[in-house]
Amino acid sequence: MADTQFTLDLNDDQKEVRDWVHGFAADVIRPAAAEWDEREETPWPIIQEAAKIGLYSLDFYAQQFFDPTGLGIPVTMEELFWGDAGIALSIVGTGLAAVGVLANGTEEQIGTWVPQMYGDVNDVKVAAFCSSEPDAGSDVAAMRTRAVHDEAKDEWVLSGTKTWATNGGIADVHVVVAVVDPELGSKGHASFIVPPGTPGLSQGQKFKKHGIRASHTAEVVLDDVRVPGHCLLGGKEKLDERLARARERAKGGERVKNAAMATFEASRPAVGAQAVGIARAAYEVALDYAQTRVQFGRPIIDNQGVAFQLADMRTRVDAARLLVWRASWMAAAGRKFESAEGSMSKLYAGETAKAVTAQAMQILGGNGYTREYPVERMHRDAAIYSVFEGTSEIQRLVIARSLSDVPIR
């Protein structure tokens, strides 16, 4: 892969995309944010509006994904989530399933399934990536969902329950991670496409969440779900080769990546960019409030106690963005994450979103605690960014392991 020089300057095309996405976030997403947060429903009308202008489409995300600088996706994510995290996650949630196919699928599978995940402007669809389970979140080795190959019919039979699935149950296409060789633990996993309308797949519990409430999160129940052999991402031959290597490496004590982790590694900087967008939005609200709120005869920003908080908030937002951009550029340039730079970006950006939104509420005082102002919602939305796609503790574990050969637990 060609090495692209790292730069902090966006080119003209990137600036145009940034401004275009920001305009949609400001004009369409942000005015609808409070309503859909209260409704706790998938904002289909907003997704369709995004589809009409080409924002919710395979072509747009492919263009950003293959941006040689790596900055197309993080720039897009930051602007969308600046608008509102719940609605934005409904718009981009399909991307995690798409990345699952891109990371593990063949060219034919990518060409067949990824377009179906989005549908078209007249009939928008969403997709779901199903990895976590009730007893297997951070501990992916505890996964119980099984995939058994029926050689006579060349079908895979999937059984188990997935949880915390964005778009789970309402998706047209589900990407499911399942155990194919229990003896290999997390190395014995594979990813499967479950096509629309497949018997045996159903939605379980829909979760009522603290934040990102416009994004649908639910359990997915797999009751002897049969999918054709060609729905195994990467194909049977590739799976057999990978399992054989895993068995050999396991004997030698080597670590082997699994299908779910390949997806999460590719998506962590993008998730970090989402958190940056939330943090930036809260900082901007707090800055505007501090400049216009008058107490004791002067704007409250004239007080060091407030001004210094804003200085810290802006510094953290910019530092988080730099970590996200570095990791995104490294991934696009084919640089290995020798020091877990992807996890660093997600960890710091997620913690920043929580800290900055909390500071914003403090600056707004009593107003910040009400739903009349958006920082209360932003603070609720930010909370998930130290939990999903790898908790902050897991990110620290990944980073710590990268610094030493010691298998820290």
Q: Which run of H or E residues covers position 118?
A: helix 107-118
Distance CA 216, CA 93 (A): 9
Whether 139 shows a pLDDT value over 80: the answer reads no
Sign of CA dihedral 361, 365, 368, 370: positive
Percent share of the chain, pLDDT over 90: 75
SS3 label, residue 54: coil
Which among 131, 144, 389, 139 is positioned nearest to 260, based on CA atoms? 131
The answer to whether residues 203 and 220 touch, using CB atoms and an 8 Å cutoff, is: yes
Distance CA 218, CA 95 (A): 17
Q: What is the dihedral of CA 390, 394, 395, 396, to 10 degrees?
A: 160
Domain that holds residue 293: 259-403
56-96 pLDDT, tens digit per residue, is 998 999 899 889 999 999 999 999 999 999 999 999 999 98
Residue 3 falls inside a structural domain: no
Specify the residue for token string 């999918």.
227
> What's the pLDDT band for 136 if we cut at 50, 70, 90?
low
Q: Mean per-residue pLDDT for 121-125?
A: 93
Q: Are residues 302 and 209 in the same domain?
A: no
The answer to whether residues 334 and 398 belong to one domain is: yes
Band (257; pLDDT cuts 50, 70, 90): low
pLDDT score at 389: 81
Asked whether residue 262 carries a pLDDT value surpassing 60, the answer given is: no
Lowest mean pLDDT among 122-126, 174-178, 331-335: 331-335
pLDDT by residue (tens digit) across 100-118?
898 899 999 999 999 999 9
What DSSP line would sit under 270-301, residue for residue? HHHHHHHHHHHHHHHHHHHHHHH-EETTEEGG
Q: What is the mean pLDDT of residues 356-385?
A: 97
- Res 174 pLDDT > 70: yes
Note whether residue 156 is domain-resident.
yes
Distances, alpha carbon 148 to alpha carbons 26, 131, 132, 199, 357, in Å: 48, 17, 19, 16, 46
Query: Where do we find the tokens 């897009």?
Result: 76
389 in catalytic set: yes
Q: Residue 301 above 70 pLDDT? A: yes
pLDDT band (50, 70, 90) for residue 248: confident
Assess if residue 2 is contained within a domain: no
pLDDT at site 142: 77
389 and 282 within one domain: yes
Active-site option among 49, 78, 133, 389: 389
Please list, residue by residue across 5-19, b when 16 or more beta carbons sit within 10 angstroms of its beta carbon and e when fewer do. Answer: eeeeebeeebeebbe
The predicted pLDDT at position 254 comes to 52
Q: Domain ends where: 205, 223, 252?
A: 252
Quickly count: other Cβ atoms within 10 Å of residue 212's Cβ: 29
Domain closes at, from 252, 285, 319: 252
DSSP string, 169-231: TT-SEEEEEEES-GGGGGGGEEEEEE-TT-TTEEEEEEP--SS-TTS-EEEEEEEEEEEEGGG
Residue 174 inside a domain? The answer is yes
Question: Residue 42 carries which DSSP code?
Answer: -
Question: What's the pLDDT band for 137 if we cut at 50, 70, 90?
Answer: low
- Cα 76 to Cα 55, 72, 144, 271, distances in angstroms: 10, 6, 35, 11
Q: Please, which residues bridge with residue 299 across strands?
A: 294
pLDDT reported for residue 220: 97
CATH number of 132's domain: 2.40.110.10
Are 92 and 174 found together in one domain? no
Between 254 and 122, the higher pLDDT residue: 122
The residue among 102, 124, 146 that closes a domain is: 124
Cβ atoms of 167 and 94 within 8 Å: the answer is yes
Whether residue 97 sits in one domain with residue 120: yes
Query: Does residue 29 have a pLDDT over 70?
Result: yes
Average pLDDT on 371-382 reads 97
Residue 6 maps to a domain: no
The beta strands (E) that lie in 72-172 are given as 119-120, 123-124, 127-130, 146-150, 155-166
| DSSP state, residue 102 | H
Least confident of 14-28, 127-141, 289-303, 348-362: 127-141
Are 325 and 346 members of one domain? yes
Residues 168 and 37 in one domain: no
97, 161: one domain: no
The answer on 89 and 37 residing in a single domain is yes
pLDDT of residue 48: 96
Give the DSSP letter of residue 165: E
CATH of the domain at 90: 1.10.540.10
Average pLDDT over residues 145-150: 95
DSSP state of 11: -
CB-neighbour burial class of residue 369 (10 A; exposed 0-12, middle 13-18, buried 19+):
middle
**Where residue 328 sits, what CATH number does that domain have?**
1.20.140.10
- The count of other CB atoms within 10 Å of the CB of residue 366 is 8
Same domain for 101 and 24, yes or no, is yes
Question: How many domains does the chain fold into?
Answer: 3
Note the pLDDT of residue 118.
95
Residues 395 and 266 in one domain: yes
26: in domain: yes
Q: Does 349 lie in the same domain as 297?
A: yes
Largest CA distance in the chain: 82
Provide the mean pLDDT of the chain: 91
Average pLDDT over residues 226-254: 85
